[in-house]
Amino acid sequence: MIEIGKKLPSASLFKVGEKGIDEIDSLEYVLGKKVVLVGVPGAFTPTCSLKQMPGFVKNADEILSKNVDEIICVSVTNPFVMKAWGESLSVGGKITMLADGNGAFAQACELELDLSVMGIGKVSSRFAIIIEDGTVTSLLAEEGGAFDISSAENILEKL
């Protein structure tokens, strides 16, 4: 399970690149960087699209000004959906949208949420993490589908 003081698990994440789909190793990608990693249950879903991610878009410049190299958003979906969702949120070059298409990252972190009862299946739970050189330094993980602690404003307080 992901914990403060431990390395981020290694799992495949994906994004639309210039020549197709790029595969990224989650741990290798964050080594040598200070990163804010935001996990959401679903792209284009109400709470994620109307509450959680707009806060990160609005506060991206301030977050990045705190010696953060990159803000990353991860969701269990495909890279094309993440790209389209990022465009709809106007993330520009401020937030990297990565797909956890097979749910391997959410599972490796033990941050899965089973929404099978809603016909959605297993997705990522909602969270926000600060990672420094691959090590988790702050973890704001929500219970169930709640949106109480994983906001951009709370991440700013931790930075």
Helix or strand (DSSP H, E) at 58: helix 53-58
Catalytic residue among 36, 48, 98, 111: 48
**Residue pLDDT tens, the chain, 159 long:** 799 999 999 999 999 999 999 999 999 999 999 999 999 998 998 888 999 999 999 999 999 999 999 999 999 999 999 999 999 999 999 999 999 999 999 999 999 987 888 888 788 899 999 999 999 999 999 987 789 999 999 999 999
What's the pTM? 0.94
What is the spatial distance between Cα 145 and Cα 41, in angstroms, rounded to a whole number? 8
Domain 12-158: which CATH class?
A: alpha beta
Is residue 124 within 8 Å of 111, Cβ to Cβ? yes
Domain assignments of the chain as residue spans, ordered by start: 12-158
Residue 62 Ramachandran class (φ > 0 left, ψ -120 to 50 alpha, else beta): alpha
Q: What is the dihedral of CA 149, 155, 75, 40, to 10 degrees?
A: 20
What is the spatial distance between Cα 156 and Cα 28, in angstroms, rounded to a whole number? 24
What is the spatial distance between Cα 139 and Cα 129, in angstroms, rounded to a whole number? 5
Q: What is the dihedral of CA 81, 60, 11, 148, to 10 degrees?
A: -90
* Parallel, antiparallel or unpaired: strands 70-75 and 34-40: parallel
Would residue 48 show up in a list of annotated catalytic residues for this protein? yes
